[in-house]
Amino acid sequence: MPIDYRSIQQVIQSNLPSIAKIRKQDSEVAHLVVQEFITDLVEFLNVGKIMNASQTNQTSIYILKYFPHFNLADLKLFFDKMKLGHYGKFYDSVDGQLILSRMEEYSQDRMNEYEQLRLAKHREEIKENPIGEGYHPDVIAAIKKAIGEKKAPEIEKVERIKTEGEVFTQRCIRQFDNLHSKFGIKNTSGRFLKLGDKVLGFTEFLERKFLNKKS
């Protein structure tokens, strides 16, 4: 895979397979690929409080579950942006919740860019053939001559509807942040909540919410 993806537009136009397709062909390979990106980021940041193997594993599971539309170029660009501080600085720790929340930001940027590319393509198609298909070539020529070179109409931007998984993940992230401000455990390697006699990291919290949602 080329290593010079520097924009979301390049990523979208790369035509690389999505991680959902890779997972369908070989789930273990997909899992290992995502884990490798996470491990590489953690090693690069060199913060005091890092992710253990279990946290890395859980985070990769949620990435595969809630961001299946990402392709390999998406992962490369996203984690490069994380290293460059595009989504903020890392001070003393990095965890799954932080990675997933930043990935949600990237996903929103990607959706916006995809919509812009789609609209640009649609405007170009209208410009090339403003009267549509299905007419005899002579009729098309006559109509074009009659209407002249009119500017293609502006297409109103339609906001993409988020998937149920994306909405659920965003809601869980907000809930975890709110709870952490009240019940967060300080001086720990990562972000944890103490709810009664239970201590939950974000991945355990997300899994618990998911199980409650299913029941």
pLDDT value for 164 = 74
Contact 207, 65 (CB under 8 A): no
Tell me the pTM.
0.61
Q: How confident is the model at residue 83 (pLDDT cuts 50, 70, 90)?
A: very high
* Number of domains comprising the chain: 1
The encoded tokens of residue 43 equal 């090693």
The answer to whether position 2 is within a domain reads no
Residue 143 has pLDDT above 70, yes or no: no
The answer to whether position 1 is within a domain reads no
Residue 190 has pLDDT above 80, yes or no: no
Q: What percent of the chain has pLDDT over 90?
A: 42
Report helix, strand or coil for 18: strand
Report helix, strand or coil for 93: strand
Residue 152 has pLDDT above 70, yes or no: no
DSSP string, 141-175: HHHHHHH-SPPPPPPPP-PPPPPHHHHHHHHHHHH
Q: How far is CA 170 from the centre of its chain?
A: 12
pLDDT value for 146 = 67
Q: What percent of the chain has pLDDT over 70?
A: 80
Contact 160, 69 (CB under 8 A): no
The answer to whether position 206 is within a domain reads yes
Range of the domain at 205: 8-214
Residue 11: partners with Cβ closer than 8 Å, 6 or more residues away: 5, 71, 73, 74, 77, 110
Residues across the chain: 215
The answer to whether position 152 is within a domain reads yes
pLDDT value for 126 = 74
The answer to whether position 134 is within a domain reads yes
The answer to whether position 159 is within a domain reads yes
The answer to whether position 108 is within a domain reads yes
Nearest to 104 by CA among 46, 172, 29, 15: 172
